[in-house]
Chains A and B, each alone.
Chain A
Amino acid sequence: MAGVTLDTVRKIYAGNVEAVKGVSLGIEDGSFCVLVGPSGCGKSTLLRMIAGLETISGGEVKIGDRVVNQVEPADRDIAMVFQNYALYPHMSVYDNMAYGLRNRGTPKDEIEKRVKEAARILAIESFLGRKPRQLSGGQRQRVAMGRAIVRKPQVFLFDEPLSNLDAKLRVQMRVEIKRLQRALGVTSIYVTHDQVEAMTLSDKLVVMSGGQIEQVGTPAEVYRRPETRFVATFIGSPPMNILPGTVEGPGRVSVGGQSIAVTDMRDGLTPGSAIEVGLRPEDVQAGGTGTSSLSMDVDFVEELGATQLFHGKVAGAEFIVQASTGQLPADTRKLTLAVDPGNVHLFDPQTTKRLGRV
């Protein structure tokens, strides 16, 4: 086993397009690291550089203690699961899994032992003789994972492996991937644009945007204390509401003339200066009363079953509130929102960075 270390890794494409702008990251041995971000943020490029499928324009990629910049993909001791599975269509499931071992000259009985073992773990023993086209999407996904685990590599790389599956299967496979990774203890790097996958799978969550890392942390840290406005609105569903406000004084901001107390606020902010106030839809108490409150005009309600989403405006900006079903009448037109000072996130309107305690 080995960890993966990235040191100011860059990718510059022809025409001087910088897809990855100097990313540094340490991934501990045996941990599950998820790279998440919108499409075009450079997460897949970064993964492909670790795999050796893209050249590295600058910086260093280390697997364990070995710098692998110039090492062929085959010699990096990694295995990758692709978005479209990339199974060999002309080979049986058995041959698909055995291919990598045969290329490395593994003895025949050892190959058979490992393939059978992987097939057992993934519950695909009965499909070993079939061709990929005879399998369902979920089964192909298992074969792709089987092909990765028979090799017993140092690192697993996953490139949006669940995005071709339907919603139900995706949840099921997500759990299986997590369980498998726990059982095998192999360092895993997983790329996705789905924040639910990112939150549920990762030990270490890396949020990327525009070829750079926005924030690294545990899922709880990233959710509780987003470092930038981008992270705040990207992680969490529905996304965090951002309201324009002004600084009133230490621990107080005002939004549309309504004063709000804030726990996590940087010292020394100039009163009267503009500030962005972030509130998660699930963190405000609709209809409640408290020390700070905001009034909201409701436009319409979305039913989600267990919860309802109230869409409307607060201080002229779009705002969403999540409330348990039945808590409020569906024809509510005006709401008073109680705000807990500990749930208010402040961001600099210029740099978009968090203005919390240092």
Chain B
Amino acid sequence: MEKRAHISGWTLPLLLILPQMAITVIFFYWPASQAIWQSFLREDAFGLASEFVGFENYAALFEQPEYYRAMITTAIFSSLVAFFSLACALLLASQADKNIRGGHAFKTLLVWPYAVAPAIAGVLWLFMFHPTLGTLSKPIKATGIDWNPMLNANHAMTLLVLSATWKQISYNFLFFLAGLQAIPKSVIEAAAIDGAGPLRRFWTVIFPLLSPTTFFLLVVNIVYVFFDTFGIIDAVTGGGPAGQTTTLVYKVYADGRLGGDLGGSAAQSVILMIIVIALTAIQFRYVERKVQY
């Protein structure tokens, strides 16, 4: 009983997809092609002349120890944020899915952090954990830890993970909640009658049934940490101390905008682009197939 509207001719369909295509081309394909072109050029210090250097920018990049350090930083940062934001969101969603008084209010409030702009979220967390001004720094210092995210790279990373996780929990929470609500109640009841306690039910029935959602979120979260945390990093640490919280994306900005090395920065952008394409390809390929039960 499928009903489809039939449109004759090409004019209307083309007109309808034109705005979307225009935005995609102007804001995605054009800058992307510019970046690829630029990654093969070297500009002089004053931006007056540029020469074609082939893969020299890429070669130079892979000789920089800083670039490898940024990779490791990104890997640590993204795995920590992805793990904690998924774990917290799953915990919250499984609690909110129960029949609790005021459940609607909880669900709404849990979504709020997602509406906060990354830079503002960053400033917020920076103030709370500022070594001298922060309200939360005092109790930490009282425990004997010399808390200072301005100087200590581990502290800086902790603060970044905290704020990035906090912001991403909302998004994951919504998807997990929807995923939990899609599991038929009778399956859970059947497991209860089959003698599985709440924890065992969760790990043997609920968690496996959520695996498509979890895998989808894992990819989305990695992409989020790679790219959307720029605002938070810029506001909280500025890549410091001593470049120790500089991620791949932040390095693009630091080298290109601050360092003036447009060619090298463009080469880094192209590599990031390849990473995103790969992640998206994995998602499309496996979300449909592998995680199906």
**A interface, CB within 8 angstroms of B:** 51-53, 72-74, 78-80, 82-84, 86-90, 99-100, 103-104, 131, 133, 147, 151
Does the CB pair A84–B205 fall under 8 Å?
no
Residues of B within 8 A of A84 (CB): 184, 186
| A103-B193 contact given A84-B184, A84-B186, A131-B293, CB 8 Å threshold | no
Shortest Cβ distance from A133 into B: residue:
B293
- Asked if B209 lies at the interface with its beta carbon under 8 angstroms from chain A, I say yes
Closest A residue to B200 by CB, please name it. A103
Looking at the complex, which one of B187, B196, B204 makes contact with A74 (CB distance below 8 Å)?
A: B196
Seed contacts A74-B196, A88-B205, A90-B208; 12 additional CB < 8 Å A-B pairs: A52-B193, A53-B193, A73-B193, A80-B189, A82-B189, A84-B184, A84-B186, A86-B190, A90-B209, A99-B191, A100-B193, A147-B194
Q: Is the beta-carbon distance between B187 and A90 smaller than 8 angstroms?
A: no
- The interface of chain B, by Cβ under 8 A from chain A, is 184, 186-187, 189-197, 200, 204-205, 208-209, 211, 293
Count, A-B residue pairs, CB within 8 A: 62
Q: What is the distance, in angstroms, from A354's C-beta to the closest C-beta of chain B?
A: 38
Q: How far is the CA of A84 from the CA of B208 in the complex (A)?
A: 20
- B residues in contact with A52, CB < 8 Å: 193
Given A86-B186, A88-B187: A79 touches B196 (CB 8 Å cut-off):
no
With A90-B209, A131-B293 known as contacts, the answer to whether A74 contacts B195 (CB < 8 A) is yes
A103 to B204, CA, bound (A): 10
In the complex, chain A residues whose CB is within 8 Å of the CB of B200: 103
- Chain B residues positioned under 8 Å from A104 (CB to CB): 195
Residues A53 and B194 in contact, CB atoms below 8 Å apart:
no
Q: In the assembled complex, which residues on chain A have CB atoms less than 8 Å from the CB atom of B187?
A: 86-89
What are 22 A-B pairs at a CB distance below 8 A?
A51-B189, A53-B193, A73-B189, A74-B192, A74-B195, A78-B193, A79-B193, A80-B189, A82-B186, A82-B189, A84-B186, A86-B184, A86-B186, A86-B189, A87-B190, A88-B190, A88-B205, A99-B204, A100-B194, A131-B293, A133-B293, A151-B194
Closest residue of B by beta carbon distance from A75: B195
CA distance A52 to B193 in the complex (A): 8
CB distance from A98 to the nearest CB of B (A): 10
Least distance between B99 CB and chain A CB atoms (Å): 10
Residue of A nearest to B193 (CB): A73
B190 adjacent to A82 (CB under 8 Å): yes
A342→B183 CA distance, assembly (Å): 54
Q: Is the CB of A74 within 8 A of B193?
A: yes
How many Å lie between the Cα of A78 and that of B190 in the bound state? 11
What residues of B have a CB within 8 angstroms of the CB of A99 in the complex? Answer: 191, 194, 196, 204
Question: Chain B residues near A90 (CB, 8 Å)?
Answer: 208-209, 211, 293
Which residue of chain B has its CB nearest to the CB of A131? B293
Q: A155: shortest Cβ distance to chain B, in Å?
A: 11
Give the chain B neighbours of A73 by CB distance below 8 A. Answer: 189, 192-193
Instruction: Write the chain A residue with the least CB distance to B293.
Output: A90
Q: Which 5 A-B residue pairs are closest in the complex by CB-CB distance?
A: A90-B293, A100-B194, A103-B195, A86-B186, A86-B190
C-alpha gap A84/B186 in the complex (Å): 8
Inside 8 A of A51's CB, which chain B residues have their CB? 189, 193
B193 A80 Cβ-Cβ under 8 A: yes
A88 near B191 with CB under 8 A, answer: yes
User: Which B residue's beta carbon lies closest to that of A100?
Assistant: B194
Whole-angstrom CA separation of A254 from B205 in the bound complex: 65
C-alpha gap A82/B187 in the complex (Å): 9
Distance A89 CA – B190 CA, assembled complex (angstroms): 12
Q: Which residues of B contact A88 (CB under 8 A)?
A: 187, 190-191, 205
Residues on A with beta carbons closer than 8 Å to the beta carbon of B196: 74, 99, 103
Chain A residues in 8 Å Cβ range of B197? 74
Instruction: Tell me the complex Cα distance, A90–B204, Å.
Output: 10
* A151 CB contacts on chain B under 8 angstroms: 194
Q: Which residue of B lies closest to A98 (CB)?
A: B194
Q: Which residues of B contact A86 (CB under 8 A)?
A: 184, 186-187, 189-190
Nearest residue, chain A, Cβ from B189: A53
Tell me the complex Cα distance, A82–B189, Å.
9
CA distance A79 to B190 in the complex (A): 9
- Chain A residues whose CB sits within 8 angstroms of the CB of B211 once the complex forms: 90
Closest Cβ–Cβ distance, residue A269 to chain B (whole Å) = 50
Which A residues are CB-close (under 8 A) to B205?
88
Q: Shortest CB–CB separation between residue A330 and chain B, in angstroms?
A: 36
**Once bound together, how far apart are the Cα atoms of A80 and B195, in whole Å?**
12
| Bound CA–CA A87/B191 (angstroms) | 9
List B contacts of A131 (CB < 8 A): 293
Residue of B nearest to A51 (CB): B193
For the complex, give the distance between the alpha carbons of A53 and B191 in Å: 11
Q: In the bound complex, how far is the Cα of B228 from the Cα of A283, in angstroms?
A: 78
B208 to chain A: which residues have CB within 8 Å? 90
Question: Smallest Cβ distance from B181 to chain A, in angstroms?
Answer: 16
